[in-house]
Amino acid sequence: AQSVTQLGSHVSVSEGALVLLRCNYSSSVPPYLFWYVQYPNQGLQLLLKYTTGATLVKGINGFEAEFKKSETSFHLTKPSAHMSDAAEYFCAVSEGYGGSQGNLIFGKGTKLSVKP
Amino acid sequence: EADIYQTPRYLVIGTGKKITLECSQTMGHDKMYWYQQDPGMELHLIHYSYGVNSTEKGDLSSESTVSRIRTEHFPLTLESARPSHTSQYLCASSAIPGQGLNNEQFFGPGTRLTVL
């Protein structure tokens, strides 16, 4: 069965500092991996995704993530945090094929705070 | 504009009432999903549908039911609401995976349900 582990339920950084949100996954098949962001009282917005091909994936708002198969990781980074990045971030894994193809398994989320 | 809509955004209701949460999308997507999200917790898939007259149960058991009579509409119903149903409910849609299209899920803004 697939699963996602996000290390750290709450991460706090200073404005301008590096953002690193950790995600490890478990999957018996080649995974599709996603990062979503959720602002208060809103739905989820896709930041970036990895399906196949290049392992370094660039997304919106300056975020990027690198798929490392050997480490079963898909960590999210941003070189310089902005106040507007404060939100909840969810990592998700999807089955690439099969009966539940496309269904997402989410991690518990990491709340990012940005200090001025 | 292509989008996914949920109504109501907030609902406070008494125990025993029947409620229907509405979800509509103009994305042209065949697959739709319902997730339940408790505060500060991950999303759990409770229902999904591949298209008209298709409904499947998700990973989390739910007393709610869904229907899919029209492609763009995927309502969720609770016949008799209870305090344990208090949660946020998120609707999402995607293209059918494997059809060579971008299959990321697009989310609505959510309905926050409180049952007294």
Mean pLDDT on A52-63? 92
Contacts of A90 in chain B (CB under 8 A): 42-43
Please, what is the end-to-end C-alpha distance for chain B in angstroms?
A: 37
Could you tell me if A55 and A31 are in contact, meaning their C-beta atoms sit under 8 angstroms apart? no
Cα A57 from Cα A47, distance rounded (Å): 10
Could you give the 3-state DSSP secondary structure of residue A61? helix
Give residue A45's pLDDT.
Answer: 94
Label residue A51 by pLDDT band (50, 70, 90). Answer: confident
The chain B residue lying nearest A6, using CA atoms, is: B42
Cis ω for the linkage preceding B8 (within 30 of 0): yes
pLDDT in tens, B86-107: 999 999 999 876 655 456 899 9
**A76-105 per-position pLDDT tens digit:** 999 999 999 999 999 998 865 555 567 888
CA–CA dist B102, B96 (Å, integer): 9
Interface probe for A, chosen from B4, B34, B42, B55 (most Cβ of A below 10 Å), is B42
Predicted pLDDT of residue B99: 57
Lowest mean pLDDT, pick from A73-77, A90-94, B110-114: A90-94
Query: Lowest mean pLDDT: which of A5-9, A49-53, B3-7, B96-100?
Result: B96-100
The predicted-structure confidence for B20-59, as pLDDT tens digits, reads as follows 999 999 998 999 999 999 877 888 999 999 999 999 998 8
Task: Choose the mutation target among A32, A36, A44 for the interface with B, i.e. most B CBs under 10 Å.
Answer: A44
Q: What is the pLDDT of residue A22?
A: 98
Q: How far apart are CA B111 and CA B91, in angstroms?
A: 9
Rounded to an integer, the average pLDDT of A32-49 is 92
